[in-house]
Structure 1
């Protein structure tokens, strides 16, 4: 879903993913796990920035779900982009996943990691001219824990009632339990103006100021002339066009109606990008899965869930649905993140065992399921169709129904209500961000309807662990449980693919999510 992360689907999908868009720095990535592959793309433009112009980006639309509300950013990549345009976090991260100062210039903790002090950037103004101060940060951290907020996981360990302003440019953030990696959790938690509740006309501190939003059509923002990152953004106007149809989005790019296309379908990446355009490719943290709601029949039986995992041919899904732009996953999210359990054996197709489990569960004569899919992200419909074929070999009949992309990741419509469906997560840069968003009771991305108190206790132990060994032990237990009996079938780690005119530079593909978000919008420019 664009973590937070981010997406959530972005998901997503970051955010909310979605975030779901909560960040983890490269120092930790290097220290505790395998570093994600660095971005790869075709040759980017090399000319100097030419200030001015209107940058038009074609994005997968979310219809009535499109919003500038930072707490809903993780529901769709287009919402992530709108949030990145108008708002700033305390801490951000670059394409290399290293933490970068944003509204906070520094952060330090006490000896135990139980309280953190953030020094704020002086001289920053809100778009309405009001000065940015510690009061805005205190309000934002408390606002994030509003029920249903996609930013809730960022402050889950914050004692929000005791967050205090030391002076206009200093905030002290006490935690419920020690966390020496709290800056990684709070990264990309967007700061709003004190008192803000209505984001139909958002006021931020970001590189662009809000002009208009026509849901399902486009959003328009203009350059913030007093942005704190001097000289940026380079372009005068930003237009995010809502184009849920892949062909329409590609045609808009090829015909010059847009300058950048987000989420380029994998087949088109190989066949449609000419020398007038460049491909932004970033292997990394995006992944796709099928999922089951474990409180809905027949998925209440863990033998059914395990059988479905065993009948999947993951390599075929990567080769066909992703056109090879990805790698095989192992029924867990977060390969390349710290504490990802690489010791678990790679699950492969085992039809005999799948049939045996189905028989044990009372379905020896066959099983019929309805899989809900959508063109909400590249490869999803193709994966559903191929899974339907693979399932036949185990005596499972899969009936596919397509859901409108506008509704698929909209929590007010179809999202979280589908018993058997698909998902894509990106923008999630720590295991804590993912599991707190996906597996806790009432969490904004709890697609599988997981409510285990044991899991919640393990996640709490992992996120508050005093050392790496304790954290790894707890995370291993969480992942073993999901590997054995969870509701997800993570089959592929997907490359992020976008395309742009060679007149556009400054966008650096990143491992977290498409378009080089979150930093790319301020850094994009037209080549002189």
Structure 2
């Protein structure tokens, strides 16, 4: 974790909170008979195959991956006990745990790994198809050995082997079906610490302890109940009362999260999401002549106060961005890339130099700005950007669309001057970042691609090198260079890094603190004695 990270865990006493009978029952139970009540919002669309944070928050308890990651993004065993890579990087051999069974009692084997990689991930997930593009086959010489055969050495493969990206599903259930539409996606079979019991739509999802789990001392709880509470106010009340003991996915408005952080009974933090930090960008439409001058783009970067956006729009639950890759991705972040300090005087000088002088009314330039519409914090950010740019003589018309219209205007019609949008950084730049800056990603109708229309031969060459690189050290140099280039060219301004917020009872122990902890299940969580 970055040493500059704020510590959001603040605890003081909140008086007068009533405890619901349901919560009292939870704490009155003893041993492994306890029920852990968790909030998931919005309601998942599926519990297997289909990614999406609500889906993954639940299915992390049902499925294990080949590997997982420690706090330094190093691989640690899960269903694979050990592995080795060939000298040429074209084969990765996984040695699987013996005695692992699916929740229906059938044995987990290498055939499940091969099927899940080739027939599920590569064929049903755009991100997975990208990450696993190099995998041409999976050999299964025996039930406990799976050998990934690669057409070229591809470090990006390792970023997608975590269980919440690479769902290993039972071949005997999914073979011969359309994986995305298999009915077992709503009634899944996994190998993880908890087994599916029921899903009452609009109410709750219940999982029960897997008595045959390979890690014999886990899990602690007898049942997990994921309550579906659509209303944020009701979620807030449930957390305060103790009805809900764990809520990992920004369950309440940030102003409420700040208030709840003062309770001795709750922990409010942004840990467990470092592997999925979102970067909030201010994009220029480079088809507009005025923004083809890099001095104008750099002026905007100096005119926008990113710290104010983090403090005011996100109530401190964000921090100023240093570029397209956040510092939390410490294995990829380049601290030497250019940065743009808040400096309105420098912004004005650059605008003057570019020929955009103030008129009699004090205005240099009039533009429209398409707000990101995913929440009130984004609207607050738009208001702040408008105020800040006005200080240097840029008059901004804010435009708020519904999501479908916003995406069409940005990625199909290209009908905007500037815009704001966030992108998940992902565990590897090849998955989460390069799509923003590769000219090959200027594709009409493809959301979250290269919306600024940025095209640079040098940047393209560096990106191609990242994709093609066989040498991790050389690839890291190219990733560092990419950050330098896009910070110099400023096709977009990286505004703030957004961490999702977790809220949970201070009586819980073992809550995962790793970078993907919020998506790593609750098998290690227990109640303090």
- TM-score (normalised: structure 1): 0.76
CA offset digits 1:470-493 (Å, max 9, x no partner): 223322332234324465432223
Distance 1:326 1:240 in 2: 27
Is 1:289–1:488's contact at 8 Å kept on the other side of the alignment?
no
Is 1:91–1:187's contact at 8 Å kept on the other side of the alignment?
yes
Question: What stretches of structure 2 of length at least 5 have no aligned partner?
Answer: 13-26, 358-362
Is 1:59–1:240's contact at 8 Å kept on the other side of the alignment?
yes
CA offset digits 1:48-88 (Å, max 9, x no partner): 99423322222442x5x633244423xxx322202312222
Q: What corresponds to 1:200 in structure 2?
A: 186
Q: What corresponds to 2:522 in structure 1?
A: 521
Please tell me whether residue 235 in structure 1 is matched to residue 221 in structure 2.
Answer: yes
Distance 1:138 1:450 in 2: 38
Displacement of 1:422 after TM fit?
2.7
Find the residue that maps to 1:57 and give its secondary structure: strand
Q: What corresponds to 1:116 in structure 2?
A: 92
The 1:354–1:85 alpha-carbon spacing in structure 2 relative to 1, beyond 3 Å, is: farther
Picking from 340, 343, 352, the partner of 1:347 is 340
Find the residue that maps to 1:517 and give its secondary structure: helix
Find the residue that maps to 1:372 and give its secondary structure: coil
Distance 2:511 2:410 in 1: 31
Is 2:11–2:263's contact at 8 Å kept on the other side of the alignment?
no
CA offset digits 1:194-219 (Å, max 9, x no partner): 22442233222222223344666543
Picking from 254, 263, 280, the partner of 1:274 is 263
- Which of the two has higher C-alpha Rg? 2
CA offset digits 1:179-236 (Å, max 9, x no partner): 4675444334221222244223322222222334466654332222222222322222
The 1:474–1:307 alpha-carbon spacing in structure 2 relative to 1, beyond 3 Å, is: same
Q: What corresponds to 1:399 in structure 2?
A: 398
The 1:415–1:396 alpha-carbon spacing in structure 2 relative to 1, beyond 3 Å, is: closer
Distance 2:405 2:239 in 1: 25
The 1:380–1:328 alpha-carbon spacing in structure 2 relative to 1, beyond 3 Å, is: same
Matches within 5 A, 1:320-335: 320-335=312-327
The 1:375–1:257 alpha-carbon spacing in structure 2 relative to 1, beyond 3 Å, is: farther
Question: What stretches of structure 1 of length at least 5 have no aligned partner?
Answer: 1-28
Is 1:58–1:258's contact at 8 Å kept on the other side of the alignment?
yes
Picking from 485, 490, 493, the partner of 1:489 is 493
Picking from 441, 446, 451, the partner of 1:448 is 451
Give the structure with the larger helix fraction: 2
Distance 1:200 1:415 in 2: 34
Aligned-residue CA RMSD (Å)? 4.0
Matches within 5 A, 1:84-163: 84-95=60-71, 97-142=73-118, 143-146=120-123, 148-159=125-136, 162-163=137-138
Picking from 370, 377, 385, the partner of 1:387 is 385
Aligned length: 475
Distance 2:326 2:338 in 1: 15
Q: Which has the higher contact order (CA 8 A, sep 6+)?
A: 1
Find the residue that maps to 1:146 and give its secondary structure: helix
Matches within 5 A, 1:199-218: 199-213=185-199, 218=204
Displacement of 1:248 after TM fit?
3.2
Q: What corresponds to 1:374 in structure 2?
A: 374
